[in-house]
Amino acid sequence: MNVVRRLIASPRGHLGLGASLGVAAQLSSLGLLLTSGWLVVRAAEQPPVLYLIVAITSVRMFGVARAALRYAERLLTHDAALARGIDDRVQAYRALARTMPAAGAMRRGDVVRTVVSDVETVQDGLLRLRLPWISAVVASAVTVGVVSVVLPAAGLALALYAGGVLLVARVLVPRLADGGTGSGSGSDAATSVAGNVTELVLAAPDLVAYGSARGRDATVHAAVDALALQDRRRAWAGGVGSLVVLLGGAACVLATALVTADAGLAGPLVGVLVLAPIGLVDVLDAVAEAERLRPRVAAARARLAALEGATDPMPAPVADAAPVGFDLELQDVTLGWDRDLVRGVMTHVGEGGVLVVTGPSGVGKSTLAATLSRLVEPRAGTVRLGGADLLDLTREQVRGVVGWMQQDAVLFDTTMRENLRVADPAAGDDLVWRTLGRVRLADTVASWPDGLDTVLGEGGAVLSGGERQRIALARMLLAGHRVLVLDEPTEHLDAPTARALLDDVDALAPEHTLVIVSHAPEVVARYDHRLDLGASLAPVGGASRVGG
């Protein structure tokens, strides 16, 4: 009994129960129509009123049941669809995290469409495609069965009508909605719009500054026009499906009237048989309307499946290793993404040491930072963390020790507290305040009227450049990283702010290993242990070198 209760309480149970209630609501609607038809014709014969009591009561029952069952069906099925959407979205996020940085090659609009729009489209497929089919098939079968008991010929006509409409809806409508290709390619128009609009919004300040906005407008308008064409195509497909339903219904009513003319049936039964095809019009039209969505739903499912099935660029290690410290060692390492950027990188940073990585733009400094964070694997050589080969450690092991503060850390349009708790969702306010104190932000945040509840705005719009960098640094400390990789930490900061930030960074060195990536001369000159990725052979300070 407990198993049955758990099943019913689950999203799958809600969906099954909701679908059953939807079928019952549709049968109540048919019962209301047929019973009303019988009652009207029979009442015209003026029988004793007691002969009509059952029919009158049935009409009331079917009317109330239809509304109540439909309401309950909506509650249960939408609850199940929302639960399915949560699961799908979580799976999509996990797939994005698992396949990074390969997933990072996707356009931002494509990512948003996959994680948001595609999940919603799959939800629509559950509610607006699968459930109408269930109701239509069951309602048609029951109605055909009832009519066949009264008059087999009328049942045959009704079966041909319902079966023909369902066949046309399944085969013809999706092809018309997809432009006749049947490949789901029409959904690319929406993807193009999402990608172009996202890029236009993000790049708007630069486009306006350089007078290039008009050219990008044309690209967006072209994508919108393609999407409008696809929408018109889907509307046309739905119209064709509805036309088939109506014409087929009219033909079925005429055929039923012809076969009942000489059947010798009572008048009320003739009325019931003639009304039966009309009763199926709504449920069959819902299927024809739903089939317009099939190409979109199929394309969305395919994209989600492709994301979830994407190959992990960094498979789980074979060896069972664990770092025993937080020093770093690179032995003859070749760095690069899809090609070699720099070869023969050798260096060692002891626990609590500081290494500054320098070199011209494009030489591979950020690639080194990504390699240390195990977002990309070294193309050759060995990287050791705490004495363990990085390739023998899981991503979780590496990223639990190594934190990477990128040049433009993402700040969310939410409170200061929640922006910091990205690093540790369980962190209490006491720990958050202590961490802010370590990066010299506690007094600043305390002076704000809302304190930790201050909303930072999109991208940290209410903050200065130095404050944004300190928040990013606080995140890494809150996460408990022992190796801090700082990618251009003083970029876009004035000289006094940059010096103050580096003073705070230096204070972390005894308890943390620091790797500072920078091309700023004042940053490079501040530290003795340097790795120049632009050098050819000679060591630059310490024991670091880059070979050709």
DSSP-derived letter for residue 455 is: B
Taking only the tens place, the pLDDT of each residue in 191-214 is 677 777 777 777 777 777 767 666
Render 369-396 in DSSP notation, one character per residue. Answer: HHHHTTSS--SEEEEEETTEEGGGS-HH
CA atoms of 167 and 161, how far apart (whole Å): 10
pLDDT of residue 254 exceeding 90, the answer is: yes
What mean pLDDT value characterizes the chain? 83
Statement: residue 544 has pLDDT above 60? no
Check residue 541 and give its pLDDT: 43
pLDDT at 282: 92
Preceding peptide of 295 cis, ω within 30°:
no
Q: What is the pTM of this model?
A: 0.70
Q: How confident is the model at residue 547 (pLDDT cuts 50, 70, 90)?
A: very low
- The fraction of the chain above a pLDDT of 90, given in percent, is 19
Highest mean pLDDT among 10-14, 225-229, 251-255: 251-255
pLDDT over 80 (residue 336) = yes
In whole angstroms, give the CA distance from residue 29 to residue 69. 10
Q: What secondary structure, in 3-state letters, does 84-152 show?
A: HHHHHHHHHHHHHHHHCCHHHHCCHHHHHHHHHHHHHHHHHHHHHHHHHHHHHHHHHHHHHHHHHHHCH
In 340-446, beta strands by DSSP E: 340-349, 354-358, 380-385, 388-389, 402-405
* Position 282, amino acid: D
Per-residue confidence at 105, pLDDT binned at 50, 70, 90?
Answer: low
Note the pLDDT of residue 2: 57
Mean pLDDT, residues 353-362 taken together = 86
CA atoms within 13 A on the CB side of 153: 13
**pLDDT at 535 > cutoff 70:** no
Tell me how far CA of residue 261 lies from CA of 154, 274, 457, in angstroms: 11, 11, 74
Tell whether the model's pLDDT for residue 247 goes beyond 90: yes
**Helices 152-177 and 294-308 sit at what angle, rounded to 10 degrees?**
60
Sign (positive/negative) of CA torsion 76, 81, 85, 88?
Answer: positive
Span 477-498, mean pLDDT? Answer: 84
Stretch among 89-93, 228-232, 299-303, 543-547 having the lowest mean pLDDT:
543-547
Stated as kind and residue range, the H or E segment containing 484 is: strand 483-487
Rounded-to-integer distance, Cα 89 and Cα 483, Å? 32
In three-state secondary structure terms, 279 is helix
pLDDT of residue 1: 52
Question: What's the average model confidence in pLDDT over 296-302?
Answer: 87
pLDDT class of 538 with cuts at 50, 70, 90: very low
C-alpha 61/C-alpha 523 separation (Å) is 82
What digits encode the pLDDT tens for the residues 17-44?
Answer: 989 999 999 999 999 988 898 888 888 8
Range with lowest mean pLDDT among 203-207, 239-243, 396-400, 506-510: 203-207
Pairing status of strand 483-487 against strand 340-349: unpaired
Residue-wise pLDDT for 114-135, tens only, equals 777 788 888 888 888 899 999 9
Which domains, and CATH codes, for the chain?
2-308 (1.20.1560.10), 328-546 (3.40.50.300)
Given a cut of 90, whether residue 189 has pLDDT beyond it is no
pLDDT, tens only, 51-73 = 888 888 988 999 999 999 999 99
